[in-house]
Amino acid sequence: MNQFLRFMQRDDIARMVIGLMVLLLPYAGALTAIPLGALILFDPGSRLLSASLAMLVLLRPALSIMHCDLPLYVIAISFVASTFAPLAFKRLESLAGSMIYLMITVALGYPLASMISSGSLSSEKILFLAILGGLSGAFLHHASKERDFTVPFGTAMVMWLFSFDYPLPEMPRILLIFIFALMLGIGAYWAKAADSDAVLSEAIVGLLVILFGGLNWFLLLLAFYLLGGGFTHYGYAYKNKLGIAQSHGGVRGYKNVYSNSLVPLALAICYGIYGSDVFIYAFIGSVATANGDTLASEIGETSRSRPRMITTLKETQPGVDGGVTPLGEAASIVGAFIIGLLATVTGMVGIFGIIVGTIGGFLGTNFDSFLGATLQSRGILSNNGVNLVATALGAGVGGCLWYLLQII
């Protein structure tokens, strides 16, 4: 036990020494890779981390040859996220550790990035990137098995993706949006509707959707999260008896969050950048698909009538991919209608929002069933892959309906 504790202390010290090398970045730049390379020789336990950060430092001048700029402040925040912040996970359980991880990354990453940017970057941009780096770093640290590689590169790539110029609200509002998104995720965790990885994933999605789309956009996703979590427990005993209930008592993981939210997230970001109304209609169609499909599955599985395959209309067993019931079809229409109605009530679109949500969600849900009966049943797509493709189809339907409205 004493040897184990001594090893952990040595590992912590090595990680902190690597982290302190971030102070060399403003002066040494790519040459910071030299002391990192030296640590590869002297400390076997930190070889992967040292090598990953060294490659990240050397990547910057390599990209500059192709006229691509990997900002130094992005690399600095990645140093913090992969060295100092992970120490929290050794002291606390997963969710509490993730929160401390996040706070350490923001508390250390913000001043470092401010110092390195030398006033060339707004304080709002630095805060946003530090929060984004902390959320993505905490998620990758907990979800990945090769964290000493995925955390440095993963956090850097996520922050780099959002390092271009775009308008941001003032710092207090960014903090309020971040806290709001995070508290909703923690609430879902306490309600046993999401695990710790899903909390971080929902916080990332919420932060980005609100910043680029607006609060109304996130309300649609929030309605889907609440309805999906609530109806997961609808008839749970009966579904569990049939062996088709959601695993882990209905607690959702990060794969479920991203498979249903990735397309809406991309559309919200595109709207924030380009401002076209087509992204609003596509967003409504994608969220309506996610909500319609979830309600169709969770409510339809409690149907007393036998499901039929969507491809052949032949009877099949409950829970079989591609099986549909009249109850499930009705639930999908209601779920899609709710999203369209909410989009209209919140002022995102006019009365056509109801039509777009209902049609896009219903078609997307049945396309989900079709994929389940074909590609998923053959092992080509997983359930999460089917959800991702179906929400993209729902978005496509929403975009086409917007185009038709322009012609009419």
Asked if residue 101 has pLDDT above 50, the reply is yes
Using the predicted structure, report yes or no on whether residue 243 has a pLDDT greater than 70: no
What pLDDT sits at residue 150? 96
In a domain, 343, yes or no: yes
Task: Let me know if residue 104 belongs to a domain.
Answer: no
Report the C-alpha gap between 403 and 408 in whole angstroms.
9
pLDDT tens readout for residues 296-324: 988 888 888 889 999 999 999 887 889 99
Query: Is pLDDT of 9 > 90?
Result: no
Indicate whether 364 pLDDT > 90. yes
In percent, the amount of the chain with pLDDT more than 90 equals: 73
**Residue 252, helix vs strand vs coil:** strand
| pLDDT given for residue 252 in this prediction | 83
Residue 354: domain span = 214-408
Which DSSP string corresponds to 275-343? --THHHHHHHHHHHHHHHHHHHHHHHTT-SSPPEETTT--B--TT-TTEE-HHHHHHHHHHHHHHHHHH
Contacts of 176 (CB under 8 A, 6+ apart): none
Q: pLDDT confidence of 228, banded at 50, 70, 90?
A: confident
Q: Please state, as a whole number, how many other Cβ atoms lie within 10 Å of the Cβ of residue 50.
A: 26
Residue 329 lies in a domain: yes
Q: What percent of the chain has pLDDT over 70?
A: 92
Binned at pLDDT 50, 70 and 90, residue 5 comes out as: very low
196, part of any domain = no
Q: How confident is the model at residue 176 (pLDDT cuts 50, 70, 90)?
A: very high
Q: Average the pLDDT over 29-42 and give the result.
A: 89
Reading the block at residue 140, the tokens are 């990758």
**What total of structural domains would you count in the chain?**
1
Q: Is residue 228 part of a domain?
A: yes
Report how far residue 275's alpha carbon sits from residue 403's, in angstroms, rounded to the nearest whole number. 15
Give tens-digit pLDDT for 179-222: 999 999 999 999 888 898 999 999 999 999 999 999 999 999 99
Q: Is the dihedral of CA 144, 197, 101, 109 positive or negative?
A: positive
Predicted local distance difference test score (pLDDT) of residue 4: 43
Q: How far apart are the first and last CA of the chain?
A: 75
Average pLDDT, the chain: 90
Question: pLDDT at position 246, please?
Answer: 60
pLDDT given at position 329: 95
Residue 230: band (very low, low, confident or very high) from pLDDT cuts 50, 70, 90: confident
Q: Is the pLDDT of residue 229 over 90?
A: no
Q: What is the mean pLDDT of residues 127-137?
A: 97
Residue with tokens 């549909």: 324
Average pLDDT over residues 230-236: 70
CA distance 187 to 332: 26
Q: Answer yes or no: is 147 within a domain.
A: no
pLDDT at 371: 96
H-helix or E-strand spanning residue 143 = helix 123-143
Question: Is there a domain that residue 71 lies in?
Answer: no
For residue 170, is it within any domain? no
Tokens 């649609």 belong to 220
Residue 112: which residues within 8 A CB-CB, separation 6 or more?
Answer: 22, 73, 76, 77, 79, 80
**DSSP letter for each residue of 182-244:** HHHHHHHHHTTSB-HHHHHHHHHHHHHHHHHT-HHHHHHHHHHHHHHHHHHTTTHHHHHHHT-
